[in-house]
Amino acid sequence: MHNSILSSLTTLLGKDKILSGDELKQRYHHIWHMDKPLKAKAIALPRTTDEVASILKACHTQNQSVIVYGGLTNLVGSTETTGNEVIISMEKMTSIEEVDDQSRTMTVQAGVLLENIQNAAKAKDLLFPLNFGAKGTAQIGGAISTNAGGLQVFRFGMTRNLVLGLEVVLADGTIISSLKKIIKDNSGYDLKQLFIGSEGTLGVITKAVLKLVEAPKSRNSAFVAFNEYDKVVAFLKFIDSGLAGTLSGFEVIWNNTFQTMTSPPAAMKPPLPYDYNYYVLLESLGSDQKRDQQKLQELLEIALENNLILDAALAHTKSDLDWFWQIREDVHVLVAQCNNDQHFDISLPIPLIGNMVEQISEEVKDLPEVEKIFAFGHIADGNIHFIVGKSEESPALIKQINDIIYLPLQSIGGSVSAEHGIGLHKKKYLPICRTPAELQLMKNLKQMMDPKGILNPGKIIS
């Protein structure tokens, strides 16, 4: 079967678009595991939707499992292999086909880097408001297939809010193309939503029409300090009201995380002293730099006078903005402090976050193998991240930590995945945030759309 599928793909695409054997030794399944050679039958490198369709048709005929690779930045095992898969890498599908500044849309192939999309929008005085630390590596197809979140979800929503149209190839090679630029379309089922967030288990995204917005004329940020979590929540309501709809980011960093992000060997220095329990990094996007900065400064002064906040540092220049946000975006600073790292992105009601983080941190730290725990997150949308540093990586320890962090979420209506997806690593915990009826419907959809189970097999649901 191995030689058969390899022969079929080579005939369809040509030898220059198929990698196999020793050619796979320089490949990997994740950007953090470049030292581990990829296990797979072959990598296909299509350049068009039609080529993706021909690959899937051949694989479907031969019952060959397939995994799609984008920027390989996922954190839930969605791109892990067993060695029996054909990989479809979207790395050659990098065309920005159109930027339409009249309809404020961009049509792109799935392999375009997020940062390149942001830059293309900026060149037309527009903004694509999906933003996260891996923007220079992550591909838009992967961001759509995982429904990525990021730093501006509070104002602009998740990736699904920014997708107007999709072109997708189904398991049997059928092309579903609906590359519409319109915002309002109530003509039956919104089929694109089936594929957004499905992690490549229902179809392969090849193109997208993205929604753009007018580029802001001003950007302002500040670091703000607190000792009480209730004050963090009260300040969120105060600043959001005061900025009248221009608040676009509200990130909270716990004290030990802030210290690690701003102490050597980290490159960034701290904009505030290490005297506080919580640090908020906020962002506003507006229309007048001088006026908007003055307004933010006035609101911070009012908050200080009313003891709502304890300290603040306002970004006065673009250099300050870059400094502040580099602190938040460079999560690798935290990973580098861990001998073995375990990542979490849970979602829970905003008022409960303070107590839950304290409770979880204490329980995790009680495990003798745990060396560090870092907490931070997009608190305005209820998303908290943990990075746990451990002395070892045993399955038993992974389960212990998972249970501590995930199991309490069921009783409070939380989610085991705010933005990273389910993949392999969270699959057994999916029932915490999905009912049996929901899980059965997911299985029914998978069975209907991929009856042979060849698309990213074993991920999300069995």
Query: What is the residue extent of each domain of the chain?
Result: 2-91, 96-214, 218-330, 333-419
Q: What are the pLDDT tens digits along the chain (462 aa)? A: 467 899 999 999 999 999 998 898 888 887 777 778 889 999 999 999 999 999 999 999 999 999 999 988 888 888 888 999 999 999 999 999 999 999 999 999 999 999 999 999 999 999 999 998 889 999 999 999 999 988 888 899 999 999 999 999 999 999 999 999 999 999 999 999 999 999 999 999 999 999 999 999 999 999 999 999 999 999 999 999 999 999 999 999 999 999 999 999 999 999 999 999 999 999 999 999 999 999 999 999 999 999 999 999 999 999 999 999 999 999 999 999 999 999 999 999 999 999 999 999 999 999 999 999 999 999 899 999 999 999 999 999 999 999 999 999 999 999 999 988 999 999 999 999 999 999 999 999 999 999 999 999 999 987
Nearest to 360, CA basis, from 302, 407, 319, 326: 407
Burial of 69 from C-beta contacts in 10 A (0-12 / 13-18 / 19+): buried
Give me the CATH code for the 2-91 domain, please: 3.30.43.10
Angle, helices 395-406/353-365, rounded to nearest 10 degrees: 160
CA-to-CA dists, residue 42 to 15, 46, 52, 63, 224, angstroms: 11, 13, 14, 15, 51
The rounded distance, in Å, linking the Cα atoms of 45 and 133 is 26
Same fold, 218-330 and 333-419: yes
| Residues 48, 94 contacting (CB under 8 angstroms) | no
Give me the CATH code for the 96-214 domain, please: 3.30.465.10
The rounded distance, in Å, linking the Cα atoms of 279 and 226 is 6
pTM equals 0.92
Domain 333-419 fold? Alpha-Beta Plaits (3.30.70)
Q: Position of tokens 């058969």? A: 4
Q: How many residues would you count in the chain?
A: 462
User: Which CATH class, in words, describes the domain spanning 218-330?
Assistant: alpha beta
pLDDT digits (tens, 9 = 90+) for 161-215: 999 999 999 999 999 999 999 999 999 999 999 999 999 999 999 999 999 999 9
